[in-house]
Amino acid sequence: MKETVLFLVSNLVENKDRIKIEEQKDNDSLFIHVFVDKNDLGRVVGKGGKVANSIRTIIRALGNHNHIRASVKFDAIEE
């Protein structure tokens, strides 16, 4: 799922080299934390959070298919 998130986010941002994705797995849960450049955060979140919610929906659907509860959080990279 990390690869799917990377694919989706990299097509939205300008600074592709500044994408950092961390995964945490617990029994049947997966938490994905996506960090992007602060100038790209608005592109990833979208107006009213629509883009971020769309990415979350895709990842949740993939997780359900694999019997995993998946969630995604977006943040800016702190320098």
Q: How many folded domains does the chain comprise?
A: 1
pLDDT of residue 78: 76
* pTM, to two decimals: 0.91
CATH code assigned at 68 = 3.30.300.20
Q: What is the mean pLDDT of the chain?
A: 94
- Whether the Cβ atoms of residue 26 and residue 11 lie closer than 8 Å to each other: no
Query: What residue numbers bound the domain in which 67 lies?
Result: 2-76
Secondary structure (3-state) at 36: strand
In this structure, the dihedral spanned by the alpha carbons of residues 51, 57, 58 and 61, taken in order and rounded to 10 degrees, is 180
How do residues 50-63 score in pLDDT, each as one tens digit?
999 999 999 999 99
